Amino acid sequence: MKQRQKHKGFSLGLLLVLLIFIGLGLWLYTKLDSPLFEKNAPTINLKESSYWNLSRPLEVEFLDDTGLKHIEVYMGDETNNIKIAEKTFTKGEKSYTLKVEFPKIGLSNKSDIFKLTAKATDISKWNFFAGNSSQKQSILTIDSQKPDVFSLITSYGITKGGVGLAIFKAEDKNLDQLYIETNFGKKFKPTKFYKDGYYAALIAWPITEKRFWAKVVAIDKAGNKTRARLSFFLKNKKYKKSYLKARDSFINGKILDLAEDSPALTENLSPTQKLDFVNRTYRDINDKVIKEITSKVDSNLISNFDIKPFYPLKNGKVVASYGDHRFYYYKEKNNVISEAYHLGLDLASIRMDDIKITNPGVVVFANYNGIYGNTLIIYHGLGFYTLYGHCSTILVKRGDLVKAGERVARTGASGLALGDHLHISMLVQGVFVRPAEWMDSKWIQTNITDVINGAKKMIDK
């Protein structure tokens, strides 16, 4: 009797345990799709390799869908691997950025390459209540040395609206960025010059800027930065102001023709408003095309920059100067309706005269461009371009290599031109500059050739 009761009690206990397991299973089954049992491991935002200059903490970001439970960070060299940070979360934060400092002890100071390991566990009950975990490693290169930069030689002076040449040295085993910053926001890209570690750049002072300064900026992969000012004697120059009467024949002729290039923007404008649109808005659109094309610099190493004075038209006469600040007025001189700078030189000779290239180059644009009409742009190296506008005919195409003395186009009156002539502009990395400098053999010798030859002598010492 007692044995039967004992067996009955054992059966009831076993049944109770079984019911508990079934109940627990059913409960788990209903909870598996809930956030409590989510299966996504934490995300650790850490690059596979990076550079660190130690001037500020290294940031490691941890993320999790439901919440972080615990994180650890280790750093190791060839012999040791030590824990440098650890944190346990009580509220299950979904994101946390850990700021890692380099340990003061425990690692070799002879090495500059270390392995960083980050680990994270979340608050999920998955994996038998252990949660999801993840690990990520990064190879760190420690670099606290700033790039070595110094100016070797520059053109003696730079004129407002003109150009200066700078040659300098910049060295760093982890060099990442190198450019010349200016007070007006333009960054000029240098070209490799002569031997490793040396660079050259033409730098422009825009006609619209009252002040000018330029500095070489070198930044390595760890974020170390060096700035070095370039010394130029600044030559201010005043440019001409012109007040031009906008006649009805001009407005109802050339202006209306050019306004038809943008009918959606001009159909509701008055004739004088169309003049302002063509002279300013359309000009800005056309200049944007030009600046985008002429901002590029090739990456080839140069040892020379042999430029001869530009004379594109035989017996060409100057009929409009560079830098002329033009004000258009209608009927009365005090009724100014538009203004713009003339950023080129106008030359005239005979109708449809031959335009010949003085210096070799590559054609980068040969097409219609609004107020400039049929336009040709040629690249000559070192970020320097020449532009030929208002052409009646263009005789070359984009991608062509042109030789000195080659006929490339004929003069005309396309675009915003009242008579047959050539508009020639010169640009340095997208900035319009004074053509007169590049048409002067003495200026080229003093500011380009002598500077390059002087730099090479210094480098060869």
- Is 125 contained in some domain? yes
Same domain, 215 and 266: no
CATH code, 332: 2.70.70.10
Same domain, 220 and 251: no
Q: Whole domain around residue 121: which residue ranges?
A: 35-142
With a cut of 50, list the residues of the chain below it in pLDDT: 26-27, 29
Q: What was the pLDDT predicted at 125?
A: 87
Count structural domains, the chain.
3
Q: What was the pLDDT predicted at 4?
A: 55
Looking at 236, 264, 292, the residue that finishes a domain is 236
Q: What was the pLDDT predicted at 15?
A: 65
Q: What was the pLDDT predicted at 127?
A: 86
Same domain, 318 and 402: yes
Q: What was the pLDDT predicted at 8?
A: 57
Q: What was the pLDDT predicted at 92?
A: 85
CATH code, 42: 2.60.40.10
Same domain, 227 and 271: no
What's this model's pTM, rounded to 2 decimal places? 0.87
Same domain, 79 and 204: no
Give the whole-angstrom CA distance, residue 414 versus residue 411: 9
- Is 50 contained in some domain? yes
Whether the Cβ atoms of residue 79 and residue 122 lie closer than 8 Å to each other: no
- Is 18 contained in some domain? no
Looking at 92, 115, 142, the residue that finishes a domain is 142
- Is 439 contained in some domain? no
Same domain, 78 and 121: yes
Same domain, 187 and 79: no
- Is 441 contained in some domain? no
Same domain, 123 and 156: no
Looking at 99, 126, 142, the residue that finishes a domain is 142
- Is 316 contained in some domain? yes
The 3 state secondary structure assigned to the chain is CHHHHHHHHHHHHHHHHHHHHHHHHHHHHHHCCCHHHCCCCCEEECCCEEEECCCCCEEEEEECCCCEEEEEEEEECCCCEEEEEEEECCCCCCEEEEEECCCCCCCCCCCCEEEEEEEEEECCCCCCCCCCEEEEEEEEEECCCCCEEEEEEECCEEECCCEEEEEEEEECCCEEEEEEEECCCCEECCEEECCCCEEEEEEECCCCCCCCCEEEEEEECCCCEEEEECCCEEECCCCCEEEEECCHHHHHHHHHHHHCCCHHHHCCCCHHHHHHHHHHHHHHHHHHHHHHHHCCCCCCCECCCCCCCCCCCCCCEEEECCCEEEEEECCCCCCEEEEEEECCEEEECCCCCEEECCCCEEEEEEEECHHHCEEEEEEEECCEEEEEEEECEECCCCCCEECCCCEEEECECCCCCCCCEEEEEEEECCEEECHHHHCCHHHHHHHHHHHHHHHHHHHHC
Same domain, 126 and 162: no
Q: Report the DSSP pairing between strands 324-329 and 241-245.
A: parallel
